[in-house]
Amino acid sequence: MELQRVLSLVRKAVDDYEMINEGDKIAVGISGGKDSLTLLMALSHLRRFYPKHFELYAITADLGFNNLNLDKIKDFCKDLDVEYTIVKTDIAQIVFEERKESNPCSLCAKMRKGALNDELKKRGINKMAYAHHKDDVIDTMMMSLIYEGRFHTFSPVTYLDRTNLYVIRPLIYMNESDVIGFVNKYNIPVVKSPCPVDKTTKREYVKNLIKQINRENPGVKERMFTAIKDSNINGWTL
C-alpha cells in the first residue's frame, strides 16, 4: 500500500472521530511491531500538512525480557524526526516469574499501560495513539461476543478520567493486510515480540477463526465492521 493511501485512511479516521485538536501532544505507543511503526510513520507525515498542529513522540515500555534490541527503532524515529523514549519496567519478571500467571496478557497489558500513562503525565503529553487496525476492532468484538456474551469493542477515542489522558486509534480504517503491504513496501524495521506467549492467545484463536469465516463467506469482515459503525457502541456514532 502506498503512503498516500495510508495517509488518506488515517486522516479520514482522525477527522471522522475528531482525534486531534490544535496543540495536542501525541505519543505513539511503540511495541516494535508492524502496526505501531506504521502508525508512527503515518502520523509523522500527517503532522506536516494537517491543519491542526500537533507534536509527536514515540514511547516504548521495555517489559524486561532482556532480548529486545531497539536500535533499529531508534534509527527509524531519528529518520522521522520523532523523539523516542524507552521506559524500563520489571513487568516480565512480575508476570512470568513472581506471579507465574497462566493467562498473563491482561495483567501485562494493564501494567504496561500504567507505565506508559505515568510517563506521559510526567512529560505533559495529553494523548496516546494506539495502532489498533480494522481487524483488531473486529477481533475484539468477536471476543466480546464469544467470551462475554455482549456486542462490544473499543472506541476510536477513549477518555481515561483517572489520568486525564485520551487514547486515539487512527488506524481503524486500515486492514491488517494493508499494514503488512505497507511495511514490506517501505522496509519498515519491525522487531519481533520477545513475549513467550506471543501468537498463542485467545485473541490469536479468534483472529484465525474470523479469517476462516471470511474465506468461506467473502466480505463478512467488512459487514462486521459496518455493523460496529452502525451500532450504538459507545464512541462509534459519527
In a domain, 235, yes or no: no
- The number of domains in the chain is 1
User: What's the residue count for the chain?
Assistant: 238
In a domain, 202, yes or no: yes
Q: Which residue has the higher pLDDT, 31 or 210?
A: 210
Mean model confidence pLDDT for the chain = 92
Which pLDDT tens digit goes with each residue over 184-225? Answer: 999 999 988 777 766 657 888 999 999 999 999 999 999 999
Average pLDDT for 129-142: 96
Quote the percentage of the chain above a pLDDT of 70: 97
Average pLDDT for 165-178: 97
In a domain, 234, yes or no: no
Q: Which residue has the higher pLDDT, 61 or 174?
A: 174
Q: Which residue has the higher pLDDT, 57 or 191?
A: 57
Q: Using CB atoms within 10 Å of the CB of residue 156, give its burial: 0 to 12 exposed, 13 to 18 middle, 19+ buried.
A: buried
Q: Which pLDDT score is estimated for 169?
A: 98
d(CA 53, CA 21): 8
Which pLDDT tens digit goes with each residue over 60-118? Answer: 988 877 777 889 999 999 999 999 999 988 887 887 777 777 677 778 888 888 899 99
Look at the pTM and tell me if it is higher than 0.85: yes
Which range marks the domain in which residue 114 is found?
Answer: 3-229
Domain with residue 80: its CATH number is: 3.40.50.620
Q: Which pLDDT score is estimated for 111?
A: 86
In a domain, 32, yes or no: yes
Average pLDDT for 137-154: 96
In a domain, 37, yes or no: yes
In a domain, 132, yes or no: yes
